[in-house]
C-alpha cells in the first residue's frame, strides 16, 4: 500500500528517451506485455468517484516468464498541476481468472481492457516507463519512489524528465481514460 506520484506524457517517439536513459546508466528491469482488465463496483461508479480496480496480467520478456497476476485499487487523483498522485494498493494473486470470477459473483462488472507493451527502467529515486498502446500512441511515465515526500518526488520527476528528454503535455488521465476517449 502506498501513494504514487507520477507524470505521464504523450511523446513523439520512445527511442530517443530510451537512448538517454541508457546513456545515463538507467537499468532495464522489465520488458513486458501487460493486459489490464478494469472493473466497476456494484455500489458506486468508479468513473464518477475517480477510482479504479484493475486486474493485470504480465508477460515479461526480459526474464522470459509470465508473472503472477495482480489486482490494483487506485484512489481518486490528487496533487499538483501536471502531476498525478493517488493511493495505490496492489495485491498479488495466484489466479487472475479465479479472482475475475469472484469479482463477477459479488457484483463487479468488467468495463474495459487495455493492452500495452512496457519497458521499465530504474533510475535513482524513480522508475521510468516507456509505453506503447496499439492504436492509441506512445507515452512515458516517471514515478517517484513512494518513500519520498511530495516536494522531493516533484523535484526528482522534473530532474529525470529533463535528463531523459520527456517533454510535452503532462496528462493526469489514466490509460483507461485515454483508451476509452480514443475509441
User: What per-residue confidence (pLDDT) applies to 2?
Assistant: 66
Per-residue confidence (pLDDT) for residue 3, from 0 to 100: 76
3 state SS of 35? strand
User: What average pLDDT is seen over the chain?
Assistant: 92
Residue 15 has pLDDT above 90, yes or no: yes
- Classify domain 2-182 at the CATH superfamily level: Hypothetical Protein Pfu-838710-001 (2.40.320.10)
CA nearest neighbour of 150 among 2, 5, 13: 5
User: pLDDT for 87-107, tens place per residue?
Assistant: 999 999 999 999 999 999 999
DSSP conformation class of 170:
E
Of 158, 96, 97, the C-alpha closest to 126 is 158
Helix, strand, coil in percent for the chain, rounding step 5: 25, 45, 30
Sorted by where each begins, the domain ranges of the chain are: 2-182
Residue 52 confidence (pLDDT) above 80: yes
- How much is the pLDDT for 1? 55
Whether residue 66 is predicted with pLDDT greater than 90 in this model: the reply is no
Decide if 55 contacts 100 (C-beta within 8 A).
yes
**What is the pTM (predicted TM-score) of this model?**
0.89
Amino acid at each position: 500500500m502506498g501513494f504514487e506520484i507520477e507524470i505521464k506524457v504523450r511523446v513523439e517517439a520512445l527511442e530517443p528517451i530510451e537512448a538517454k536513459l541508457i546513456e545515463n546508466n538507467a537499468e532495464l528491469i522489465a520488458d513486458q506485455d501487460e493486459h489490464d482488465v478494469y472493473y466497476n463496483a456494484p455500489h458506486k461508479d468508479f468513473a464518477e468517484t475517480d477510482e479504479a480496480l484493475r486486474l493485470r496480467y504480465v508477460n515479461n520478456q526480459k526474464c522470459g516468464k509470465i508473472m503472477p497476476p495482480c489486482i490494483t485499487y487506485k484512489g481518486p487523483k490528487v496533487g499538483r498541476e501536471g502531476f498525478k498522485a493517488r493511493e495505490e494498493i496492489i495485491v498479488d494473486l495466484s489466479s487472475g481468472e479465479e479472482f475475475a470470477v469472484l469479482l463477477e459473483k459479488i457484483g463487479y462488472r468488467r468495463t474495459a481492457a487495455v493492452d500495452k507493451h512496457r519497458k521499465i527502467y530504474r533510475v535513482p529515486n524513480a522508475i521510468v516507463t516507456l509505453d506503447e498502446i496499439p492504436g492509441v500512441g506512445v507515452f512515458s511515465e516517471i514515478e517517484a519512489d513512494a518513500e519520498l515526500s511530495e516536494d522531493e518526488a516533484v523535484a526528482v520527476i522534473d530532474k529525470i524528465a529533463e535528463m531523459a528528454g520527456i517533454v510535452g503535455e503532462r496528462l493526469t488521465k489514466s490509460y483507461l481514460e485515454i483508451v476509452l476517449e480514443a475509441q
